[in-house]
Amino acid sequence: MTRRHAGAAALLAAPLTLALALAAFGAARWPAALAAAAVLAAAAYGAGWAIAQRISRKLGGLTGDTYGAINELLETLLLALMAIGIHKGLFLTYNLYRWAL
């Protein structure tokens, strides 16, 4: 994954991440939602870049299978971070449930 592709992916994911963070925190807490979206996006970008670099060094490049594996690892990481945030009371879970319905 080149930096250009990673940057484009981050720009595409940013509005969705922000919308979900706003739903989780509530509109009244938009600064916290913006911070959470930035932290989650930075965590995903950093982890994805590190994993891609390691796989690329080991295998000499990236394939569709490695991209799929990276995607699954990042999804697991972000879901774990969200679960920790919900458990610690950082997110308004009521808003998430109401928004999903």
Residues 7-50 have pLDDT tens digits of 777 777 777 777 777 776 666 667 776 777 777 778 888 888 89
Residue 10 and residue 29: Cα distance in Å, rounded?
Answer: 23
What is the structure's pLDDT at 53? 92
User: Which of the four pLDDT bands, split at 50, 70 and 90, describes residue 93?
Assistant: low
User: Which of the four pLDDT bands, split at 50, 70 and 90, describes residue 58?
Assistant: very high
- The two tokens of residue 60 are 């000499």
CA dihedral 4, 46, 75, 27 (to 10 degrees): -90
pTM of the model: 0.61
Q: With beta carbons less than 8 A apart as the criterion, state whether 6 and 48 touch.
A: yes
Q: With beta carbons less than 8 A apart as the criterion, state whether 18 and 37 touch.
A: yes
